[in-house]
Chain A
Amino acid sequence: MFAAVAIGRLVRFASRLTRHGGSALPGKVVERIDPGFLARTLGRLPYGVVLVSGTNGKTTTTRMVASMLTDLGLKVFTNPTGSNFTRGVVSALLTQVSLGGRLDADIAVLELDEAYAVHFVRQVRPRYALLLNVMRDQLDRFGEIDNTARLLGHVAEATTGTVVLNREDPRIAALAKLAPEGTEVRYFGLADDLKRFFPSDDDMATTVATEERAEAQDAGAAAGAPLSPSVDGQLPSGRGAETAGLSVDGQLPSGKGAEVGAVGSPLGGELSVQPTEGSAEGSGRDDSDAPVLPADVTLAAVGDHEATFLMDGAEHRAKVRLEGVYNLYNAAAALAVTRAVRPDATPDELVRAAGNVTPAFGRGEIIDVNGSPVELLLVKNPMGFRLALASFDASQATTMIAINDEYADGRDMSWLWDVDFTSLREGGVAMVSGVRAWDMALRLEYDQVPVGAVETDLDKAVERFVTEPGPLGRPRHIYCTYTAMLRARAALGRITDVSDAGVGR
Chain B
Amino acid sequence: MRTIDVVSLYPKDMNIYGDSGNVLTVRRRLELYGYAPRVHMVDQDDPWPEHVDVILGGGGQDAGQRKVIDDLHERADDLRAMAADGVPMLMICGMYQLFGEYFKTIDGDRMEGIGVLGAYTIGKPQRLIGNLVEHSDEFGDIIGYENHSGQTFLREDAEPLGYVKSLDGAGNNGSDDTEGARAHNVIGTYMHGSLLPKNPAVADFLIRRAVERRYGAFDTDEQTPEQRQTLEHLDRVIRSARHVAASRPR
In the complex, A294 has a CB within 8 A of chain B: no
| Alpha-carbon gap, A430 to B117, bound state (A) | 45
| Alpha-carbon gap, A99 to B67, bound state (A) | 57
| Alpha-carbon gap, A434 to B91, bound state (A) | 31
Contacts of B192 in A (CB 8 A): 412, 414
Contact A411 B248 (CB under 8 A): yes
Contact B24 A417 (CB under 8 A): yes
| Alpha-carbon gap, A37 to B249, bound state (A) | 36
Contact B17 A139 (CB under 8 A): yes
In the complex, B131 has a CB within 8 A of chain A: yes
A15-23, A38-46, A224-232, A234-242: which lies at the interface:
A234-242
A275 to chain B minimum Cβ distance, whole angstroms, is 14
In the complex, A456 has a CB within 8 A of chain B: yes
**B contact face: mostly helix, strand, loop, or mixed:** mixed
B103 to chain A minimum Cβ distance, whole angstroms, is 15
Contact A442 B43 (CB under 8 A): no
**A contact face: mostly helix, strand, loop, or mixed:** helix
In the complex, A415 has a CB within 8 A of chain B: yes
Contact B237 A441 (CB under 8 A): yes
B41 to chain A minimum Cβ distance, whole angstroms, is 3
Contact A416 B18 (CB under 8 A): yes
Known: A208-B8, A240-B41, A258-B12. A439 touches B245 (CB 8 A): yes
Contact B28 A446 (CB under 8 A): yes
In the complex, B42 has a CB within 8 A of chain A: yes
Instruction: Tell me the B28-77 residues at the A interface (CB within 8 Å).
Output: 28, 39-43, 46, 61-63, 66-67
| Alpha-carbon gap, A417 to B15, bound state (A) | 11
Residue tally, chain A, CB below 8 Å to B: 46
Contacts of B95 in A (CB 8 A): none
In the complex, B135 has a CB within 8 A of chain A: no
A404 to chain B minimum Cβ distance, whole angstroms, is 11
Known: A144-B61, A242-B43, A436-B244. A417 touches B145 (CB 8 A): no
Digit string of B206-250 for contact with A (CB within 8 Å is 1, else 0)? 000000000000000000000000000110011011011100111
Pick the contact of A442: B42, B46, B238 (CB < 8 A). B238
In the complex, B151 has a CB within 8 A of chain A: no
| Alpha-carbon gap, A94 to B27, bound state (A) | 55
Contacts of B149 in A (CB 8 A): 143
B235 to chain A minimum Cβ distance, whole angstroms, is 10
| Alpha-carbon gap, A136 to B58, bound state (A) | 15
Contact B248 A208 (CB under 8 A): no
Contact A241 B237 (CB under 8 A): no
Pick the contact of A446: B8, B25, B131, B145 (CB < 8 A). B25
B241 to chain A minimum Cβ distance, whole angstroms, is 4
A413 to chain B minimum Cβ distance, whole angstroms, is 7
Contact A145 B12 (CB under 8 A): no
Known: A145-B61, A417-B197. A239 touches B11 (CB 8 A): yes
Other than the given A265-B66, A412-B17, A417-B24, 17 more pairs (CB < 8 A) read A140-B147, A144-B16, A146-B61, A204-B16, A207-B24, A208-B24, A239-B12, A241-B11, A265-B63, A412-B145, A413-B245, A415-B17, A417-B18, A417-B20, A418-B20, A446-B197, A447-B24
